[in-house]
Amino acid sequence: MPVESGSSAARQAKQKRKSHSLSIRRTNSTEQDRAGLQRDLLEGQQDSKLPLSLRNTLLDLFGQIEREFENLYIENIELRREIETLNERLAGEGQTIDGGDLTKGALKAKASHSTSQLSQKLKTTYKASTSKIVSSFKATTSRAVCQLVKEYAGHRDGIWDLSITRIQPVILGTASADHSAMLWSIETGRCLLKYMGHAGSVNSIKFHPTEQMVLTASGDQTAHIWRYMVQLPAPQPVTDINAPCEEDVEFSDKDEVEGEGEGPSECPTLRVACTTLKSHQGVVIAADWLVGGKQVVTASWDRAANLYDVETSELVHTLTGHDQELTHCCTHPTQRLVVTSSRDTTFRLWDFRDPSIHSVNVFQGHTDTVTSAVFTVGDNVVSGSDDRTVKVWDLKNMRSPIATIRTDSAVNRISVSVNQRIIALPHDNRQVRLFDMAGVRLARLPRSNRQGHRRMVCCTAWSEENPACNLFSCGFDRQAIGWNINIPALLQEK
């Protein structure tokens, strides 16, 4: 008997080693086969209507389900081998279990327990995977009517920023990497004035809240304040250039860009600024007017933001603390508050409401460059980042965001509408998406080979007083676009 028991233990150990090596070989070969299968699927579904990111997500989810099934199958095989080994030991001791019938005795209980575990694991895996798949399809239907109304072409390089006047006449301003800023008639799309006073890329443009003055920031390490006087041309009928097609197309540097020629004809040029602000040691990436328009704030790659007095051009405060280059700055529409964004993954809130106390709060809600942070009319700040998220914060409690929007592409300079409180997100992947303050997706602006942006979208701006064009976007396809966004009243109430 000792000899038989020893040989039985040896056979059991040998079978376990063989089973373990078999499972390893099967797992490795399965992983290789799966990788090849995914490549074949991706190569064979180039004509699929699903976006590549969604197809990859589906393949990953189905792969997880397949791996779970394989693991359970291998466990089941090993369990059956253990049962066979146990039967052999019992037979060697003179006992029989009727050929290892799984319907009797302790083996029945063990098999039933194994079957129950298998069933529970399958149910859990199915529920988790199904919820992931269903959530990926949520809010894919547009909940707003979006129409392209006008295109503004004339810059010779990408457009970084745009802005709308808050006084009459209502005009559009664009800032471009071609060293110029342009003022446009919204209705006709004609250039009204071209500013050529900067020696570098014009990175930002903002209109004075009450006067016909413009603030521009540039790569020449300066910010300029200049006055404009324009006369609007007679309005022309708006031509509907919308197309039903919404398929995406690729756009390369070799493709021709509309408006790449000599620029708008008969456009007056201004070359001299009223005020030049010189204190930064690096690119001035953004600038904005404080409430009242008597002071301006500038943000620079020298890791500092400067507060200037407009009348005297003197530097009032230098706002330091960011560890890396600044990317954006924004002021509150009704209070003396400033928010600055940086590549150090933070944004800072500066409070100038009390002249004797200048407090600052640092917020670390992102994992990559914060490309912009803007105020809303209420007590909220909305921040966007290269980490593909947008977060909504409450000024009264900034410890954690009250809403988080996750996207599939980096987010650039965002804007929030005043009345409807809708967030417009410009993306690196040429898309513009609309969300409400709760993070619910409302729409994606149409984009095809006939309309929409063909390169990275850099900025968006709302103009709700204009009935025809109430949203504008610009990008590195050298054009700005005016959109008409119609949100149903039922959604506004929600």
Instruction: Summarize pLDDT for 25-71 with one digit per residue, the tens.
Output: 544 445 555 555 555 555 555 567 778 888 888 888 888 888 888 88
Number of CB atoms found within 10 A of residue 74's CB: 18
Dist. CA 80–CA 83, nearest whole Å = 5
What's the confidence (pLDDT) of residue 41? 55
Geometric angle at alpha carbon 470, from 288 and 158, rounded to 5°: 60
Q: Do 290 and 423 sit in the same domain of this protein?
A: yes
Q: Do 114 and 150 sit in the same domain of this protein?
A: no
The pairing of beta strand 159-164 with beta strand 389-394: unpaired
List the helix and strand counts (H, then E) for the chain. Answer: 4, 29
Read off the pTM: 0.68
Tracing tokens 């006939």 back to the chain, one arrives at 450
Contacts of 132 (CB under 8 A, 6+ apart): 57, 61
Q: State which of 107, 136, 165 marks the end of a domain.
A: 136
At 255 the three-state DSSP class reads coil
Dist. CA 361–CA 376, nearest whole Å = 18
Dist. CA 104–CA 106, nearest whole Å = 7
The pairing of beta strand 422-426 with beta strand 159-164: unpaired
Q: What is the CA radius of gyration of the chain?
A: 32
Q: Do 362 and 312 sit in the same domain of this protein?
A: yes
Q: State which of 136, 153, 179 marks the end of a domain.
A: 136
Q: Do 122 and 149 sit in the same domain of this protein?
A: no
Q: What is the mean pLDDT of each run of 10 residues along the chain (494 residues)?
A: 47 53 49 55 62 83 85 87 84 56 48 56 53 45 79 97 94 97 95 97 97 97 96 61 38 39 68 96 97 96 97 95 97 94 96 84 94 92 97 88 95 93 96 95 89 95 89 96 82 49
Q: Do 153 and 131 sit in the same domain of this protein?
A: no
Dist. CA 460–CA 409, nearest whole Å = 16
Number of CB atoms found within 10 A of residue 488's CB: 12
Identify whether the C-beta of residue 59 lies closer than 8 Å to the C-beta of residue 136: no
At 14 the three-state DSSP class reads helix
For 302, the domain range is 145-493
The DSSP result for 174-238, as a single string, is EEETTS-EEEEETTT--EEEEE---SS-EEEEEE-SSSSEEEEEETTS-EEEEE----PPPP-PP
- Listed residue (105, 103, 74, 99) closest to 87, CA to CA: 99
What's the confidence (pLDDT) of residue 263? 46
pLDDT in tens, 359-394: 899 998 999 999 999 999 888 999 999 999 999 999
Q: Do 57 and 183 sit in the same domain of this protein?
A: no
Q: State which of 110, 136, 162 marks the end of a domain.
A: 136
Q: Do 162 and 79 sit in the same domain of this protein?
A: no
What's the confidence (pLDDT) of residue 113? 55
Which CA distances in Å does 126 have to 53, 64, 138, 425?
21, 10, 18, 34
Q: Do 131 and 151 sit in the same domain of this protein?
A: no
Tracing tokens 């919308």 back to the chain, one arrives at 242
Identify whether the C-beta of residue 151 lies closer than 8 Å to the C-beta of residue 258: yes
Encoded amino acid at 424, one letter: A
The pairing of beta strand 479-486 with beta strand 145-153: antiparallel
Number of CB atoms found within 10 A of residue 487's CB: 20
Q: Do 485 and 445 sit in the same domain of this protein?
A: yes
- Domains held by the chain: number: 2
Q: In what order do the strands lie in the sheet with 471-475?
A: 145-153, 479-486, 471-475, 457-462
Which residues of 85-176 form beta strands (DSSP E)? 145-153, 159-164, 171-176
What's the confidence (pLDDT) of residue 22? 47
CATH number at residue 271: 2.130.10.10
- Listed residue (487, 491, 427) closest to 455, CA to CA: 427
Dist. CA 425–CA 423, nearest whole Å = 6
Q: Do 311 and 387 sit in the same domain of this protein?
A: yes
Cβ neighbourhood burial of 294 (10 Å; 0-12, 13-18, 19+) = exposed
What's the confidence (pLDDT) of residue 340? 97
Q: Do 131 and 180 sit in the same domain of this protein?
A: no
Q: How many CA atoms lie within 13 A of 196 on its CB side?
A: 9
Contacts of 348 (CB under 8 A, 6+ apart): 319, 321, 322, 339, 340, 342, 360, 361, 362, 363
Q: Do 127 and 185 sit in the same domain of this protein?
A: no
